[in-house]
Each structure stands twice: as C-alpha cells, then as structure tokens.
Amino acid sequence: MDKEYWNARWENQQTGWDIGYASTPIVTFFNTFPDKDAKILIPGCGNAYEAAHLLEAGFTNITLIDIAPRAIAQVKERFTGQQIEILLGDFFDLKGDFDLMLEQTFFCALEPSQRPDYVKQASRLLERKGGEIVGVLFDVTFEKEGPPFGGSAEAYEQLFEKEFTIRKLEPCYNSIGPRQGTELFIRMAYKNG
C-alpha cells in the first residue's frame, strides 16, 4: 500500500477507521502525562483528532505526518494558525527526535512485512530522547485481508522486545465501544544499549 493507495482511500472517503474523535485510551493517558512540552509524533495521523485534543489540553510540541496529500490538506486547514508541525511524507523517511510516538491505527495499516522496519524507525526517532511509543494495537485476527492487519500480544512482544522495554502491553480497559475487547494498550520505552 503506497501513497496512491492511501490517497485514493481519502479521496473516495473510504475511511472506516476514522472514529471522529480522540480515542479514549489515548485521552486517558494524556490526562495524567505531566510534560506539556514533550515532543510528540503522530504518524499516519489521518484526521488527527488526538492532536486537536492535545492542543486543547495545552501540549505545545506536536508533529503530524501522513503519506496521503488529501489527509494532510484537510489537517492543515483544520489546524490553521495553531502551533503544530504538519508534514506530508512517509513515516519511514522521517528524521527527528521525539519523546513520544502515538500509536492509533497506524501500525495496523502497514503490511505485516513492514513491522520490523516500523520498530527500527521508531527506535531511531526515539533513541536520542529515550522516548516511548504509547497507544493502542489490535489484539485480534481480522477475517478479511487487511488493512487493518491484526496481531497478538505474544507477536508484538517478540517484535518490540529487542529495541524496547515493554512497560505496558495489556488488554485495553477503556477502548471505544466498537473496539472493546480487541485492543491492547501499549507503552514501550526505547531501550538504551
């Protein structure tokens, strides 16, 4: 799935993943996260509802990236005049150093063969600051061929454990209604050395 695939999904409004608001597990996490100046990356941001919530909550250092020009055009319009970095591009080419990377239906949108590269790229983006990936991953095997592509706690543990200390990988207690029982909440910290 490349840029053309994703942009066509946006152009044709085939955006079934879009819940229309910031997801509860992420909102709950940030309710008690103390550092409002943390440098936060939201890859595959789509409509970036989480970013709107974070700006309202006083977070000052948010970067969005999405590969689909249509998604980024919408987001740029929505956030006009606000203090936020909005990038059109491929997550895998991104350079920078972040404290936190938010995961909300981006990992599941990638081909499973790209998962090791996701882990490598996340560790590059988080290593300088000793940052963390925070958010939700699906804990389900989907009947249809993805995206979305599912997975399991065991598989994620194996995938991430070389580069990250797994601080949380547990059934999500506060998923939104339609996703209840299908998500894991994750908090994975870049492992130094």
Ligand X SMILES: C[S@@+](CC[C@H](N)C(=O)[O-])C[C@H]1O[C@@H](n2cnc3c(N)ncnc32)[C@H](O)[C@@H]1O
The residue ranges that bind ligand X (CB under 6 A) are 6, 17-18, 43-47, 65-68, 71, 90-92, 104-106, 109
CB of 192 to ligand X, least distance (A): 26
Residue 135 forms beta bridges with which residues? Answer: 103, 186
Q: In the complex with ligand X, which residue's Cβ is closer, 65 or 137?
A: 65
Q: Please, what is the angle between helix 69-78 and helix 3-11, to 10°?
A: 60
The answer to whether 164 and 188 have CB atoms below 8 angstroms apart is yes
Alpha carbons within 13 A on the beta-carbon side of 185 = 17
CB of 188 to ligand X, least distance (A): 18
What's the first-to-final CA gap in the chain, in angstroms? 33
CB of 75 to ligand X, least distance (A): 10
Residue 190 forms beta bridges with which residues? Answer: 164
Rounded to the nearest angstrom, the gap between the alpha carbon of residue 20 and the centroid of all alpha carbons in its chain is: 15
Q: In the complex with ligand X, which residue's Cβ is closer, 60 or 69?
A: 69
CB of 193 to ligand X, least distance (A): 28
CB of 165 to ligand X, least distance (A): 24
Q: In the complex with ligand X, which residue's Cβ is closer, 90 or 127?
A: 90
Q: In the complex with ligand X, which residue's Cβ is closer, 62 or 71?
A: 71
Sequence-ordered list of residues with C-beta below 8 angstroms from that of 5, at least 6 positions apart, any chain: none
Identity at 38, one-letter amino acid code: A
Q: In the complex with ligand X, which residue's Cβ is closer, 33 or 69?
A: 69
CB of 2 to ligand X, least distance (A): 8
What is the rounded CA–CA span in Å between residue 41 and residue 6? Answer: 20
3 state DSSP class of 193: coil
CB atoms within 10 A of CB 49: 20
Q: In the complex with ligand X, which residue's Cβ is closer, 65 or 101?
A: 65
